[in-house]
Amino acid sequence: MKPTSKLFTISEASKELGYSSRSTLYRLIEKGCFDDYLWTDGKRKYLELNPKGKKSLAQMIAINIQWRSHALHVKN
């Protein structure tokens, strides 16, 4: 199966989603919350942010974490 939208590394995905750290994404990956969004090429892991026919990655994060205002930073 091939991805239906652009893939982001964990670092790129955390920046795109407004997180100051990658740790939240890594923790959710280890818990298995992103199995449908995770792609690997052998060494690197990639996340698909907006796959067709599924909830966006941002929505899945919101479902699985408790929101805290200090964990986000504003994009310019």
pLDDT tens figures, 31-67: 998 888 999 988 899 999 888 888 888 888 888 877 6
Q: How many alpha carbons fall within 13 Å on the CB side of residue 8?
A: 16
Q: Residue 76: its pLDDT value, please?
A: 45
Per residue, the 3-state secondary structure of the chain, as one string, reads CCCCCCEEEHHHHHHHCCECCCHHHHHHHHHCCCCCCEEECCCCEEEECCCCCCCCHHHHHHHHCCCCHHHECCCC
The confidence band for 30, taking pLDDT boundaries of 50, 70 and 90, is very high
